[in-house]
Amino acid sequence: MTVVEAMKNEHGSMLRELNQAGPTASMDVNEAFLGHLTDHFAQEERELYPMAQAAGWTGGSAVTELRYQHQTLRQNFKESVQNRESWERFGQQVREHFSAEELLVFPLVEGQG
């Protein structure tokens, strides 16, 4: 399985977990989701983004923005699970972040192979 295939699978898995987590979920479910999300972000920063840069990705500001989104999503998680409105906003931000990666980063890495 390629890195991109693994990341796509992770995105799908995390979106399913996102639907299970939130204000009405148990602390265990929410902590498991946050752990999975944090690990996923670390893997992207460690593997995926450098691969995209090696493939010629010159979008330095895009890399900075995606990393900033990782940081912001991690920081806002605990506040977001406090109420439905915050959680819905958080979920939308996660979906938009995944979409940006799938449109900007994945094609570059796939083109390397």
45-55 residue pLDDT tens:
999 888 888 88
Instruction: Quickly count helices (H) and strands (E) in the chain.
Output: 6, 0
Could you give the CA distance from residue 113 to residue 109 in angstroms, rounded to a whole number?
7
pLDDT, residue 108, reads 83
Dump pLDDT digits (tens) for 7-40: 999 999 999 999 999 999 999 999 999 999 999 9
Q: What are the extents of the domains in the chain? A: 3-110
